[in-house]
């Protein structure tokens, strides 16, 4: 925790504290679920809220993101609307895997239709999924508010490697990379969709065992982007750690 001698009062001190945290290696989460990554970092920094007021830079919002395989990060996880859309897609497009279980695993792009005929486009503040069966499915752009909107002028974004089972008390984080970001560019975000840098992964299947064996199981729809491509959504970004 931060004592009075190391209390974060300037941007320089924040950067030094982040570098100290990086040398600690993996820190067990202080809270289960997705919010554990941010809560743990706040505790290590000794701050009670996820924004800081520093006289040398002004308001800063602190964010932390998990780095996944191949430097990918998940910007949002949300099943499409209206309710039941994913199940309707599953019933129409499901297939059997090598073990004889039904699945619908599909990566969706903005530039072209994928093997299932899915394609996504931004229309009237919605990401709309087109498909050959004309099943209504869309995501409101507000699911990206965590990225597209900020309470402050600048964001300090800290990336962390992870160990252990995600969203449980056994997850641990190594905060090892950080950037100062400002001026999110909505046009660049839209371009990331059109050029396939932002991808949608639909993962639906069935339970493999237990009392619900064979029943529909929505594993979650994830919106993923490479860490490098995410940084370029901002007009200004600077590596600080």
Domains, the chain, ordered by start: 4-239 (3.30.70.3570)
- In this prediction the pTM is 0.82
Residue 28 CA to residue 179 CA, distance in Å, equals: 23
pLDDT of residue 134 exceeding 80: yes
Q: Indicate the pLDDT class of residue 136, thresholds 50, 70 and 90.
A: very high
With 0-12 / 13-18 / 19 or more C-beta atoms within 10 angstroms meaning exposed / middle / buried, residue 129 is: buried
DSSP assigned state of 239? E
Largest CA distance in the chain: 63
Measure CA 118 to chain center.
Answer: 22
118 pLDDT band (50/70/90 cuts)? very high
Q: Which of 28-37, 55-64, 181-190 has the lowest mean pLDDT?
A: 55-64
Model confidence at 52, pLDDT cuts 50, 70, 90, reads confident
Q: Is 127 exposed, middle or buried (0-12, 13-18, 19+ CB in 10 A)?
A: buried
Contact (Cβ atoms closer than 8 angstroms) between residue 141 and residue 127? yes
Residue 51 pLDDT grade (very low, low, confident, very high; cuts 50, 70, 90): low
User: Which residues touch 226 (CB under 8 Å, ≥6 apart)?
Assistant: 70, 71, 72, 73, 197
- Binned at pLDDT 50, 70 and 90, residue 50 comes out as low
pLDDT in tens, 221-236: 999 999 999 999 999 9
Structure-token match 């800081």, residue found:
52
Please report the pLDDT score of residue 61 as a whole number: 86
DSSP conformation letters of 105-140: EEEE-SSS--TT--EEEEETTEEEEE-TT----EEE
Determine the Cα–Cα distance for residues 62 and 49; give it in Å rounded to an integer.
Answer: 9
The predicted pLDDT at position 180 comes to: 93
Q: What is the pLDDT of residue 124?
A: 87
Residue 40: other Cβ atoms inside 10 A: 22
Of the listed ranges 11-25, 85-99, 140-154, 161-175, the one predicted with least confidence: 140-154
What average pLDDT does the segment 51-72 reach? 83
- What is the per-residue pLDDT for 58? 76
Identify which of 184, 197, 185 has the alpha carbon closest to the alpha carbon of residue 110. 197
The whole-number average pLDDT for the span 17-45 is 94
Which range of 41-50, 61-70, 195-204, 210-219 scores highest in mean pLDDT? It is 195-204
């Amino acid at each position: 925790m931060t004592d009075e001698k190391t209390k974060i009062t300037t941007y320089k001190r924040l950067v030094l504290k982040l570098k100290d945290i990086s040398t600690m290696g993996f820190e067990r989460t202080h809270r289960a679920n997705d919010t554990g990554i941010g809560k743990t970092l706040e505790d290590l920094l000794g701050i009670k809220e996820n924004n800081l007021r520093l006289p040398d830079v002004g308001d800063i919002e602190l964010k932390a993101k998990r780095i996944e395989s191949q430097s990918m990060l998940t910007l949002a996880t949300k099943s499409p609307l209206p309710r039941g859309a994913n199940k309707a897609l599953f019933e129409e497009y499901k297939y059997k895997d090598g073990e004889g279980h039904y699945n619908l695993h599909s990566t969706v792009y903005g530039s072209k239709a994928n093997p299932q005929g899915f394609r996504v486009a931004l229309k009237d503040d919605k990401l709309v999924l087109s498909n050959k069966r004309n099943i209504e499915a869309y995501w409101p752009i507000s699911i990206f508010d965590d990225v597209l909107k900020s309470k402050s002028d600048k964001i300090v974004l800290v990336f962390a490697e992870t160990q252990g089972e995600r969203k449980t008390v056994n997850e641990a984080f190594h905060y090892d990379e950080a950037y100062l970001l400002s001026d999110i560019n909505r046009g660049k975000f839209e371009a990331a969709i059109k050029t396939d840098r932002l991808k949608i992964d639909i993962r639906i299947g069935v339970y493999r065992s237990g009392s619900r064996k064979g029943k529909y199981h929505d594993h979650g729809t994830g919106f993923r982007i490479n860490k490098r491509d995410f940084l370029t959504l901002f007009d200004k970004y600077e590596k600080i750690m």
